Amino acid sequence: MPRSSRMSPGGPRRTLLPALLTLLLSAALALTTLGAPARAAGPGGTWTVHQPGAPRDGVTAVVRLDPADGTLTLTARKGATTVLEPAPLGIVTSAADLASELRADSRHTRQVTERYSMTTGKQLRRTARMTETRFTFTGRDGARLGLVVRVADDGVAYRYVLPGPGTVTVEREASAFRPPAAARAWLTPYSVNYERLYAPATAAGAAPGAYAYPALFQVGNTYALLTESDVDGRYDASRLVHEGDGRYTVRLADPEVTSEGPLATPWRTAVVGDLATVTESTLVDDLAPPSRLADTSWIRPGKVAWSWLDGFGAAQRDLVAQQRFVDLAAAHGWPYALVDDGWKTTDWMPELIAYARQRGVDVLLWVHWTDLDTAAERAEFLPQVKRWGAAGLKIDFMDSDSQERFRWYDDILRDTARHRLLVNFHGATLPKGVQRTWPHVMTLEAVYGAEQGTVPAAGLTALPYTRNAVGSMDYTPMGFQFGTRTVSDAAELALSVVFESGLQNFAGSVAAYRERPELARFLEQVPTVWDETRLLSGLPGESATFARRHGDRWFLGGVHAGEAGTERVRLDFLGGGRWLAEVVRDGEDGGLLRERHVVTRRDVLDVPTAEHGGFAGQICRLTPGRDTCDRPVTRLPLTALTADPARAEADPGGSVAVTGRFAVEESGPATDVRLTLDVPDGWTADGDGTTAAELPAGEALSGDWTVRVPSGVRPGGYDLTVRAEYRAPDRPGSGVLRVERPVRVFVPEPGVTYVSDLPFTTERNGWGPVERDMSNGERDPADGGPLTLAGTVYDKGLGTHAAGEIVVELGGEYRRFTAEVGVDDEVGAKGTVAFEVLGDGRTLLTTGVLDGADPAFPVDMDVTGVRQLTLRVLDGGDGVDSDHADWADARLAP
């Protein structure tokens, strides 16, 4: 601006000084200054915030105060491109309307530079550089509003500051974003768990309604990713509401938010730049508060063997199934196994954790958030699981963005950190910088992920540019045995690189990995945290190819939605010299193929891809004699111990034949193998223990015993134990490894007939088949757990599910029918059922509604002369979810 101004010809000289003062005052408002605050007077003004020395195509934010009505707007530009058109700012509290009739008061600009380290994410060591301008405005009746605007090379953010002590009640924000009407958009409808697909639209053409963060908009070659940062219990989260006019209003989760002042609201955030900027940005974390943990040495991200998609709840209640996934993790060098919903109805968790820790694997435990929603529950549960040796928790079903829920997040994160427990949030809000503030948060779900079973390739390829761009995402890839396959095997493998998550919960079965040895080999090598991230190519909903560096190795991952073709991968991110590149891709026979290439940074890798396909790879320095980038992995043998039969019946003085078989399936050999059978006191077993000095992979050791039941034994159930002991030569410090399998022998009471031993005339069950001598499981026969009511385990009985019915023929031969009935413990306090007993079509008994918290209900009735007995289970009037009903110890006496 010129230092002086010419007077208009013929104008009086006395007007020069006021005009000059007005001009200088306007300049003070319009120019960004450093150091002392600039004072502003008057109702209007326009201010630009940008990085010092920013290039012409740099990011700028423009704040304007309309002199006519005192309203504020913010505009975001990238160079000459307006990415976000002027959209309103302001906030309304119960005490003041700070969205209009504002007057500028002061302005202060400073440079913000922060260096920090993360335990998770796309880049572990970070430097945040932002220009911050703090504005103050005065509203009606002297109410004060602070507006803080930050501009970084990768975006714009703003928040409100309400100064002064006392309680502040926010009724709404006037905040909004306005992309240009024709801007392309990738949006997901809002839901409390963020589990909806992204779909393309335009900014103005998107249907009216609520949309979740992050929302992606494209203007020319520039993108804006809208989200928020620094949300905790002082406030609540928000969503975007499109009224159909192209403006996206910020709508709070609660009707009002109450907090103690001074209050700083969350950052309304726009990551701005090309797609590489969007996917590589750390702006959301840069805006978040620093870590609250001084010591993060105990925090260890890593790969996880997760059994949910290979057996669901039944697998979580089965100790053998969970030991199998621990063994899977140990066989591939993965540090964790996750036990999901169902384990809390069992009593073997300390045993599993001890088993896993002996094999170098830590156990993560699923828990419903309501199990930890009070201080008393946390004070009891968290120390308990820590004493067991659990490494962390998967906490599920929060399903709310309310201020109350964020206060709970504050509490649970403080308490889990105190007990040094890692956290994975499912059914959760979006990451909003929480992983910087609480570094033990390894990942969050908040995605329409692999658990849905049918994620289309176009939806999957939108996620790197949207949901995963703002923080770790627990998509749970590799579930080959589940759902409908929508991408190729190589594309699924690529997700281990394309999707960032501090804990990668790999959802495949043991068989799925065995059928794909190249995939399993790559998963042994790929890390879950990164020193550097590069987007190499791609478009939202179409494709994404990433290079991520961990130490001195680069890992590649590419996935696309569409026809087969060739992916051209530029390697100019590499340093000088020669490199070895190993690529795993889809072969023509449907299997996975590994190829090796010697390359330099000037080369381009041409990778053939299948329909909805992809590839994964790793690149390392080429040194003399090196033919692979693989690093050594410590593996334990993947073994399988079986005991046959698992259940048997024998009369006093009788015998049972038992066979044990111990096999080494992968990662052998096992050495110093010994197979034995333990029997109860007074019982005898004919047969010697079996040994082998070494068992290579693919070989097995078997033992046979004849077990004799004492003649004077009491009726009931007795446990025999087949035990295998062995060593792992690749991990000598692990000592002797043990695995056991029970054989349950039931000695019946003389003269008693158990209903589970009778043929059914007819049967009907609400879920899966009726189970004999076990609880109702999933859809397959004999997949239930032990019949358990109020902590008591029963050897005999029927496992059913409402609505169900069993008919057996008695022929008038029995006098009494007795049983203990109720909701099986495996569903906890859930489930409501009623039981009916009919004899020859006549109702003999109807219980009231029983739930999972009730004790077992005793049934004892006269069935003299009854020819046909009907056992019926009804739902409790609230649907059939979790209605697992047991007819425990159901017996007939003559």
Calculated CA dihedral for residues 621, 623, 625, 628, nearest 10 degrees:
0
CA atoms within 13 A on the CB side of 700: 12
Residues contacting residue 517 through CB under 8 Å, at least 6 positions apart: none
Q: Which of 822, 885, 651 is nearest to 752 (CA)?
A: 651
Domain 753-893 top-level CATH class: mainly beta
HSE-CB at 85 with a 13 A cutoff on CA atoms is 14
The model's pLDDT over 769-825, given as tens digits with 9 standing for 90+, comes to 999 999 998 888 988 889 999 999 999 999 999 999 999 999 999 999 999 999 999
SS3 of the chain: helix, strand, coil, percent, to 5: 15, 40, 40
Q: How many CB atoms lie within 10 A of CB 626?
A: 11
492 is catalytic: no
Helices (H), 290-442: 312-316, 319-332, 349-358, 375-388, 403-418, 434-437
pLDDT at 725: 97
Q: Is the dihedral of CA 714, 715, 717, 718 positive or negative?
A: positive
Out of 396, 795, 824, 851, pick the active-site residue: 396
**Of the candidates 402, 544, 546, 393, which has an alpha carbon nearest to the alpha carbon of residue 460?**
544
Residues in CB range of 551: below 8 A, 6 or more apart: 531
CB of 490 within 8 A of CB of 615? yes
pLDDT at 520: 98
Q: What is the CA radius of gyration of the chain?
A: 33
pLDDT in tens, 364-383: 999 999 999 999 999 999 99
Considering the domain 638-747 in this protein, what is its CATH number?
2.60.40.10
Non-local CB neighbours of 52 within 8 Å, separated by 6+ positions:
111, 131
Q: Where are the domains of the chain?
A: 31-286, 302-530, 638-747, 753-893
3-state secondary structure 438-484: CCCEEEECCCCCHHHCCCCHHHHCCHHHCHHHHCCECCCCCCCCCCC
| Whole-model pTM over 0.85 | yes
Decide: residue 659, CB within 10 A, 0-12 exposed, 13-18 middle, 19+ buried. Answer: middle
For residues 554 and 620, give the distance between their C-alpha atoms in angstroms, rounded to a whole number.
7
**Residue 272 neighbours by CB distance under 10 Å:** 32
> What are 93's strand-pairing partners?
170
Cα(250)–Cα(239) distance, rounded to whole angstroms?
6
Q: How far apart are the first and last CA of the chain?
A: 109
Exposure string of 884-893, with b = 16+ CB inside 10 Å and e = fewer, is: bbbbbbbbbe
CATH number of 31-286: 2.70.98.10
Strand 362-368 and strand 336-339: the pairing is parallel
Residues 314/783, Cβ–Cβ less than 8 Å: yes
pLDDT of the residue at 733: 74
The closest of 862, 815, 865 to 837, measured between CA atoms, is 862
Rounded-to-integer distance, Cα 190 and Cα 238, Å? 10
Distance (Å, whole) CA 769 – CA 652: 32
What pLDDT, on the 0 to 100 scale, is given for residue 17?
33
Beta carbons of 639 and 626 less than 8 angstroms apart = no
Per CATH, domain 302-530 is 3.40.980.10: no
Q: What was the pLDDT predicted at 1? A: 33
Q: Which amino acid is at 515?
A: E
Residue 780's pLDDT is what?
A: 87
> Which residues contact residue 115 at a Cβ distance below 8 angstroms, ignoring those fewer than 6 apart?
125, 126, 127, 128
Residue for token digits 């008591």?
Answer: 792
Beta strands in 21-58 (DSSP E): 38-39, 45-50
Residue segments in the chain with a per-residue pLDDT below the cut of 50 = 1-41
Query: Which residue among 451, 474, 795, 820 is the active-site one?
Result: 451
In DSSP notation, 763-783 reads EE-SSSPPEESS---SSSTT-
Strand order in the sheet with 81-89: 45-50, 59-65, 72-78, 81-89
Residue 356 CA to residue 479 CA, distance in Å, equals 22
The two beta strands, 215-219 and 222-229, are antiparallel
451 is catalytic: yes
CA–CA distance, 514 with 507 (Å, rounded to integer): 14
Amino acid (one-letter) located at 119: T
pLDDT score of 827: 87
